[in-house]
Chain A
Amino acid sequence: MDLASKAGADSRANLPFVYRQYSAEQLKQVLHKMYLIRRFEEGAEECYTRGLIHGTMHLSIGQEASAMGICMPLAEDDQITSTHRGHGHCIAKGAEVKRMFAEFFGKTTGYCKGRGGSMHIADVAKGNLGANGIVAGGIPIAVGAGLSSKMMKTGKVVVSFFGDGANNEGAFHEALNMAAIWKLPVIFVCENNGYGMSTSTARSTAVKNIAERAAAYSMPGVIVNGNIFSEVAEASHQAVARARAGEGPTLIESKTYRHRGHSKSDRNRYRTKEEIEDWMSNRDPITLFEGEMREFGLIDDKGIQAIRDAVAQEIADGIEFAKTSPSPDIENIQDFVYTEQA
C-alpha cells in the first residue's frame, strides 16, 4: 500500500477504493492530470478556432476520469492502444503536453514528427501503441501486444480503449474471442459516451449494455460510472490483477459523455441541449473528483488553485514550445515510410 501513514489508512477505511489505495499526493497528481487533459483540449480547440492548426480533432472533454482511472493501476511499461479521441489516454499514460501540442502544430518535435496530427498522437516510449483513425483498429493490435506479452513472458498488461461505436465492428468481436481463447493479459475498455458520432447506442447496438457482449466471449463484463474516478480505477485494478495472474481478459464498459461535438463539424442535431447541460453541470468528472478530494480532506481551495495555476503554465509553455519548434523539411517527405537500414 502506498499510503503516507497507517493513521491515514485507518481514517479512510470506509472511503471509496482509490482513497484507500493511493496516497493524497498520488491523488493530487491525478487531479493535476485530469486538469491537464481538460486544458490541453481546450487549448487545442482554441488554437484550431484561431486558425493556428488545421485538420480536425475529437475532444474527450468530459471523459477524463475514464482515461485516468483505467491508467491508474498500469505500470509504465504496460501498454495501451488508443482511439481518435485519444488525447486523454495519451496524457494519462504519461505523455508531455508540449510534444502533443507540437504534433498538433505539425512540428518535428511532435510525438509523430508532424506526420500524425491529432488523430495519431501517442508517446510510444510510455507504452502507447498509437491513437487510431480507424474505429476499432486498435483492438486486435492490443490483442497482438497481449500475445507478445505472453510469448515473451514480459508480464505486461495491455489496455485497448475504444468507443461504443467500435463494438459493432467485426474487429471487436474477432479480437475479444482470440484474447479469451488464449487467455491473454488484455483489458478491453469501452468508453461508452452514448453516441458513435450521431448514432446513439440505442439505434446502433442490439444489447443495452456493451458489457453484456463479454458473455459471448466468456470473460467478465464490468460496468462502471466512467465519470467517477474511483469506480473506474477500481475496475481497472481488478482487471489488471486478473490479467497479471494469467486468468485472461476483461471487458470494462465505462459509461461517460463527451461534452463537445463529435469533431469540429458537428452541429449536435442528434442530442438535446438539456442532455448536454445535465452532463456538464451535474456529472462533470473533474468537479466530482475535486468534490470528493475536498470532502475527504485531501485538498483545499489553495491546493486546487495551485494545481490549476501549474496546469495553466504547462499549457502556455507547451503552446509556445509548439509554435517555436521547426517544421519538417519537404525533402524529408519519404522519412518513416520504411525502416531505415544501414
Chain B
Amino acid sequence: MDAVVRELSYAQAIQEAMATAMEMDERVFLMGEDIGVYGGAFQVTGDLVERFGTERVIDTPISELGGAGVAVGAAVTGMRPIFEFQFSDFATLAMEQIVNQAAKMRFMLGGEVSVPVVMRFPAGSGTGAAAQHSQSLEAWLGHVPGLKVIQPATPHDAKGMLLAAIADPDPVMIFEHKLLYKMKGPVPEGYYTVPIGKAEIRREGRDLTIVATSIMVHKALEAAAALEAEGIDVEVIDLRTIRPMDKQTIIESVKKTSRLLCVYEAVKTLGIGAEVSAMIAESDAFDYLDAPIVRLGGAETPIPYNPELEKATVPQVPGIIAAARDLVKGVR
C-alpha cells in the first residue's frame, strides 16, 4: 500500500523525521539550545519535548563546542544523537569537535568505532540577521573527509534525507536554509529514506545544465520557467549532497546539454561551484562543453544588514536568467 502523502512545511517535515526516528529507535535523541519548551529558534523541534520528554529533547546550555562534543561522545558509545545548532554560523564555535574529532575518530582508531551523529544547521541569508547569523558554511565542512554533508531543498527530501542521516553510521551534517522552513510540499507519512550522495534532476532540458543547491534549486527552477518562454530549455540538477558528490548525474547532464552553470548561495570562490566545475573539467564531459563554465555564488563579502544589499549579496532569479541566457546565446 502506498503511503499517504500530505502537504507539510520543510520545518514540519524535519520534525516528523525526528519524531519518526525517535519512535522507532530508543537511542535517537535531540540536543540543542532552546529546542525544548521554546521549540527551537525556528520552531523545528516544536512540541517534541511534550511528546518525548526532557530526557530525549535536551536543552543544552549555550555551549556549542561542548555540546557538539557530548553528542559525538554519545554517538561513539551507542546512542544516536541529533544535535541542533541554533544557527549554522555557530558551527565555527564547534569546529574542533566536528573536524578534529567526529570526522576522524573512526579513521584514527583504525575502524574500531563509528560516529553516528547527526548535526543540523539552519543556514543562509535573507532574514535581516546580518553577518554573524546568515552565512552558508557548508563547503567548509564539505572539505573534511569523514563527514557527509547534505542540503535538502524540499520538504520531501528534508524528511527522507534526515532519516537516511540518522540511519547512517557516520557523521552527517545537514544544512537547512532558513527561508525554506515555511515552504510547503508533499511529504509521505511514515518511514522512508532519500539516499545521501544522490543528486536529483528537478527539470529536464537540452540547452543548459544548472547545478544548484538548497534554496537556489527553487530560484533556478523559476529562472528555467521564465527561460522556457524564450525557447531556452534548461535542465536543473538539485545537488542535494555536497559530500560525497554525485558526479555521474552531473557528467551525464553536461554531456547532454554542453553547458554548465553552478548556482549556490555561499561565497563564490573556493566553494561548491569550484568543485563541480573542476570535476567536469577533469571528466570526459569536458570535451562536450560548448561554452565556458559559469558560477553564480555569493559576493565576496560578509552578509550585510541593509535589505537591498543583503539581496544583492546572493544570486537572485534575474541574475540566473541573465547568466543562463548569455551562456546559451554564446555571449560568454
> Which residues of chain A come closer than 8 Å to B302, judged between CB atoms?
115, 337
Q: Give chain B nearest CB distance to A268 CB in angstroms.
A: 10
CB contact under 8 A between A114 and B306, given known A165-B61, A196-B61, A337-B300: yes
A203 to B60, CA, bound (A): 9
Are A205 and B127 within 8 A (Cβ)?
Answer: no
Given A55-B305, A117-B305, does the pair A133, B133 have CB atoms closer than 8 Å? Answer: yes
The secondary-structure label for the interface of chain A is loop
Structural contact, A199 and B61, CB atoms closer than 8 A: yes
- Which of B183-241 touch A at CB < 8 Å? none
CB-CB under 8 A for A56 and B300, given A170-B63, A198-B59:
no
Which residues of A, 312-340, contact B by the 8 Å Cβ criterion? Answer: 327-328, 330, 333-334, 337
- Tell yes or no: A68 within 8 A of B by CB: no
Q: Mark B30-63, 1 if CB is under 8 A from A, else 0.
A: 0001101111010000000000000000010111
Question: Out of B41, B90, B309, which one reaches A333, CB within 8 Å?
Answer: B309
The answer to whether A143 has its CB under 8 Å from any CB of chain B is no
| Choice from A114, A115, A199, A327 contacting B131 with Cβ under 8 Å | A115
What is the bound-complex CA distance between A267 and B40, given in angstroms?
12
* Docked-complex contact A166 and B62, CB < 8 angstroms: yes
Known: A198-B37, A333-B304, A337-B302. A116 touches B130 (CB 8 A): yes
Which size class do A's interface residues fall under? 35 or more
**B-side interface mostly:** loop
Return the contact of A119 from the options B90, B129, B308 (Cβ within 8 A).
B129
- Contact indicator B309/A198 (Cβ below 8 Å): no
Inter-chain CA distance A169–B67, complex, in Å, is 10
A112 to B89, CA, bound (A): 20
List residues of chain B with CB within 8 A of the CB of A56: 127-129
B interface residues, how many (CB within 8 angstroms)? 36
Bound-state Cα–Cα, A196 to B90, Å: 16
Give the nearest-CB partner of A337 in chain B: B301
Chain A stretch 131-179: residues in CB contact (< 8 A) with chain B: 132-137, 165-166, 168-170
Encode B279-299 as 1/0 by CB contact (under 8 A) with A: 000000000000000000001
B133 touches A334 (CB 8 A): no
Shortest Cβ distance from A46 into chain B, in angstroms?
17
Residues of chain A with a CB closer than 8 A to B299's CB: 333-334
- Contact of B38 with A55 in the complex, beta carbons under 8 Å: no
Q: Is B278 an interface residue, CB under 8 A from the partner?
A: no
Interface positions, chain A 84-117, Cβ under 8 Å from B, are 103, 106-107, 112, 114-117
B93:A112 contact, CB within 8 angstroms = no
B322: Cβ under 8 A from any A Cβ = no
B37 to chain A, nearest CB (A): 5
0 or 1 for each of A183-208: is its CB under 8 Å from B? (1 = yes): 00000000000001111000111000
Task: Supply 6 A–B pairs (Cβ within 8 Å), ascending by A.
Answer: A56-B127, A132-B132, A133-B132, A198-B38, A204-B59, A333-B304
The 10 closest A-B pairs by CB, nearest first: A55-B128, A117-B305, A133-B132, A106-B306, A198-B38, A168-B61, A54-B128, A204-B61, A114-B306, A165-B62
Residues of chain B having any CB pair with chain A under 8 Å: 33-34, 36-39, 41, 59, 61-66, 89-90, 93, 127-133, 299-302, 304-309, 312-313
